[in-house]
Amino acid sequence: MKNITLRAPEQKIESARRHARQRRTTLNRMFLEWLDQMEGGDIQADRLDAMYVKLEGKCTAGRSFSREEMNER
């Protein structure tokens, strides 16, 4: 493992520590979980991009939509 140094306002650090205590964990563990989520997000984005490429031109709604229909909410 590699050590890093982070800087943040003291109030934010204390708030994060309270949050960690409520979860019965540490700031270090929360940071590692965040890194895992970031890494997982990249993998999910890559999978989604690959799906778009695979489906390009193969999915249709069966008809064209008017400008009004496309802008409906």
- b (16+ CB within 10 A) / e for 20-59: beeeeeeeeeeeeeeeeeeeeeeeeeeeeeeeeeeeeeee
The pLDDT value given to residue 18: 94
Domain residue limits, the chain? 10-59
Q: What pLDDT tens digit does each residue of the chain (73 aa) get?
A: 888 898 999 999 999 999 999 999 999 999 998 888 777 766 777 777 888 888 887 777 888 889 999 898 7
> Do residues 17 and 7 touch, judged by C-beta distance below 8 A?
no
pTM over 0.85: no
